Amino acid sequence: MRYFLLLLINTFSFAQEIQKVDFIKMNAIVTPNAIEKSISGEVTYDFKVLSIIDTIKIDAQKMEFTSVKLNDKEVKFKNTGKQLHLFEGFKKGKNILKFSYKVTPKQTLYFIGENNSSTSSEQIWTQGQGKYTSHWLPSFDDVNEKVIFNLSINFKKDFKVISNGKLTNVNQNLDFKTWQYQMKKPMSSYLVMLAIGKFDKKNFKSKSNIPIELYLKPDDATKFESTYKYSAEMFDFLEKEIGVKYPWKIYKQVPVNDFLYAGMENTSATIFSQDYVVDDIGFNDRNYINVNAHELAHQWFGNLVTATSGKDHWLQEGFATYYSLLAEKELFGEDHFNFEMLKMANELAEASKTDLIPVMNEKASSLSFYKKGAWALYVLSESIGHEKFQKAVKIYLKKYQFKNVTTNDFLAEIKKFSNYDVENFKKVWLEKSGFETQVAIELLSKNKSIKEFFDLQKMLEIPFLEKKLIFENILKSNAFYPIKQEVIYQLTDVSIEDKKDLLQMAMQSDNVQIRQAVAETLQIVPLDFKTEYESLLGDKSYRTREIVLTNLCQQFPTDVSVYLNQSQNWIGFNNRNLRIDWLSIALKNPNYESGKQLDFLSELINYTSVNFDSSIRQNALEALLILNPENEKVLQSLVNATTHHKWQFVKFGKDNIRLLIKDEKFRKLFQDLIPKLAEKEKMNLEKLSKE
């Protein structure tokens, strides 16, 4: 209880401070130092003192400050290690604060690729989601403090530097350039961004004349079309559907290596994961379309209007998830939209068995904020009618543009267009845990394809021979592909003799997903079906190729050389899934290219090193922990994973070390490794050993 009261008092105190001081604009010149992994800068803040206050605070994590001046006079200040406190030199009305700072941030600003021999892999980027920008830029952890941020960045001339807003000028001084970016409207600090790297750029304009810049690494120049497919169509659709013109002067998108999440909707400049940079084959398995639309929708929902507190976070993620699906509906049709909603409903229904935290709670899961939030909006739109919903959203955005909002603010606009019981809606969908599965089923069943799918699922327990004719008719029809996939999945345990003709029908499809269902479900490949199954190696799907190559090499060991020769130049996704699988299979078959076995092992071990992104390293480590787990370099790379900035890779490293040290043999191998480790690696390994 005491903790709760303290939290309440501190929150109230900070809210009062915002009411008394209004920070209006920041102009800063910053210089990242890739060698020191630090950043320094000169910052100017324009602010107004609205009423009497004794201390003004700026969030700043472990920063050093010099030359702190208020209204052109040097003033005393206090640096708490978390904030810069000012207690003299300001006056009621307009004030100007200037200072210099330097920091070596432990998070939020990341320096990537310094160990890679390829300079195209050197990158610097930020991820300030929530309240973390104060780790690299003196700013405000409270999202309710909105400021116009203008950044100028000094860096080496042969790199591209990207930040929020329009690039207004570039000055060069010897080997360095200064890129000057300007914003016109205010935003919360967590949306300030910086991305530096070797990038190519393509430009186009939306129908509303907004400049759009798309970036990729030079090595990926051939992937522009497949990575950014439908970007123009989605931008134009969202402007029309939302009914409010895109609120910023420009829009940029840039992928970076080892990004922490799928994407981040920084104001006017989205950063996203390199994993979504795909060629025309990878596009069929994992593409950027949904993330692209999601981050773009945030430019309105989250950036233009920002949730006041964590409990209203669904106003950002729920809206972005829902509108990204509306964009996909525009591209791929009603059936696609409904099946995506069904996938989310299944996830939510399953999660509701253990997830008891409702949407309107700052501790709610991402699944709740994103997908239950989206479902809530779908129910609301269907209940009051799409046209009324659209009008309410438009008014809501215009009324609260560049401001902060609560759930009640949004629902108040819904009330103006409908007699719908929004209070009950709020209780059921936002304040209560669980998922309204029956409501979801009733809504989805309005779609003909979904109804056919549900009817097909009801046949799961019916004997195969009684439904075979129905399956044949479905596979011959123009039914939406998930329905045909369901037929294949229901054939999993049927004998090959009984289902072979149906599988052959499925294999005649030109749909990658339907053929992939065959690859996934066919456990044993009969000889008279072998040739057709081998044809899957040529499908435009890296996922299908991975499944089929592994299966064929296991079932037909005498043909391994044929399959490995056929696939020896495959790379696959950015995580090199096909190349790493190929090396694993080659090493399991020592008679294949026997003179090159050491080269194969060396290449696979090299992929575990710091020269590569964590996704490649993890794939290679997973393979080697089966093939050669006692190798010193493998174990050292596993320990190094615990020092990575990406929490998912850190978890992978720690979990596997915990598992291995249960065996005394590996515990000793790790102990012998300690003298060869860097200090942080030693510390992490010793800590894990003592658990």
Q: How confident is the model over 558-576, as pLDDT tens digits?
A: 999 999 999 999 999 999 9
CATH number of 1-197: 2.60.40.1730
User: Predicted confidence band at 17 (pLDDT cuts at 50, 70, 90)?
Assistant: low
Q: Is residue 365 classed as helix, strand or coil in its secondary structure?
A: coil
- Given a contact cutoff of 8 angstroms between Cβ atoms, the answer to whether 506 and 479 are in contact is no
For residues 68-73, average pLDDT: 97
What single DSSP character describes residue 537?
Answer: G
Q: What is the mean pLDDT of the chain?
A: 95
- Given a contact cutoff of 8 angstroms between Cβ atoms, the answer to whether 178 and 170 are in contact is yes
d(CA 244, CA 300): 8
Which has more confidence, 19 or 144?
144
Lowest mean pLDDT among 15-29, 160-174, 617-631: 15-29
* Number of residues written out for the chain: 691
d(CA 287, CA 281): 10
Q: How confident is the model over 382-403, as pLDDT tens digits?
A: 999 999 999 999 999 999 999 9
- Given a contact cutoff of 8 angstroms between Cβ atoms, the answer to whether 183 and 247 are in contact is no
Q: How far is CA 71 from CA 45, 55, 91, 103, 344, in A?
A: 10, 16, 9, 24, 54
pLDDT score of 448 more than 90: yes
pLDDT at 162: 98
d(CA 211, CA 544): 38
Q: How far is CA 36 from CA 574, 611, 652, in A?
A: 29, 19, 28
Instruction: Tell the CATH topology of 305-446.
Output: Neutral Protease; domain 2 (1.10.390)
Residue 185 corresponds to which amino acid? K
**Beta strand pairing status for 194-197 and 160-163?**
antiparallel
User: Predicted confidence band at 5 (pLDDT cuts at 50, 70, 90)?
Assistant: very low
pLDDT score of 1 more than 80: no
Give me the phi and psi of 205, to 5 degrees please. -125, 145
pLDDT score of 536 more than 60: yes
User: Predicted confidence band at 118 (pLDDT cuts at 50, 70, 90)?
Assistant: very low
Tokens 């497949």 correspond to: 226
For residues 240-260, average pLDDT: 97
Following DSSP, what letter does each residue of 565-633 receive, concatenated? HHHTT---STT-HHHHHHHHHHHH-TTTTGGGHHHHHHHHHHTTSTTS-HHHHHHHHHHHHHH-TT-HH
Sign of the Cα torsion 584, 587, 591, 594 reads positive
pLDDT score of 253 more than 90: yes
Q: How confident is the model over 449-502, as pLDDT tens digits?
A: 999 999 999 999 999 999 999 999 999 999 999 999 999 999 999 999 999 999
pLDDT score of 2 more than 70: no
pLDDT score of 10 more than 50: no
Sign of the Cα torsion 424, 425, 430, 436 reads positive
d(CA 82, CA 141): 11
Give me the phi and psi of 543, to 5 degrees please. -65, -45
Tokens 């894990």 correspond to: 688
- Given a contact cutoff of 8 angstroms between Cβ atoms, the answer to whether 224 and 134 are in contact is no
pLDDT score of 13 more than 50: no
User: Predicted confidence band at 523 (pLDDT cuts at 50, 70, 90)?
Assistant: confident
- Given a contact cutoff of 8 angstroms between Cβ atoms, the answer to whether 338 and 450 are in contact is yes
- What is the domain partition of the chain in residue ranges? 1-197, 305-446
C-beta atoms surrounding 243 within 10 Å? 15
Following DSSP, what letter does each residue of 9-69 receive, concatenated? HHHHHHHHHHHHEEEEEEEEEEEEETTTTEEEEEEEEEEEE-S--S-EEEE-SS-EEEEEE
Query: Over pLDDT 90: what percentage of the chain?
Result: 95
**Beta strand pairing status for 64-70 and 73-74?**
antiparallel
d(CA 564, CA 163): 45
Lowest mean pLDDT among 8-12, 376-380, 418-422, 434-438: 8-12
Q: For residue 336, with 0-12 CB atoms within 10 Å meaning exposed, 13-18 middle and 19 or more buried, which class applies?
A: middle
- Given a contact cutoff of 8 angstroms between Cβ atoms, the answer to whether 253 and 228 are in contact is yes
What the block records as the tokens of 145 is: 């403090």
pLDDT at 120: 57
Q: 657-681 burial by CB neighbour count: b if 16+ within 10 A, else e?
A: beebbeeeebeebbeebeeebeeeb
Which has more confidence, 174 or 118?
174
pLDDT at 19: 83
User: Predicted confidence band at 115 (pLDDT cuts at 50, 70, 90)?
Assistant: low
pLDDT at 8: 34
What the block records as the tokens of 107 is: 């998070």
User: Predicted confidence band at 131 (pLDDT cuts at 50, 70, 90)?
Assistant: confident
pLDDT at 121: 76
Q: How confident is the model over 332-365, as pLDDT tens digits?
A: 999 999 999 999 999 999 999 999 999 999 999 9
Q: For residue 558, with 0-12 CB atoms within 10 Å meaning exposed, 13-18 middle and 19 or more buried, which class applies?
A: exposed
Q: How far is CA 587 from CA 86, 592, 608, in A?
A: 64, 8, 16
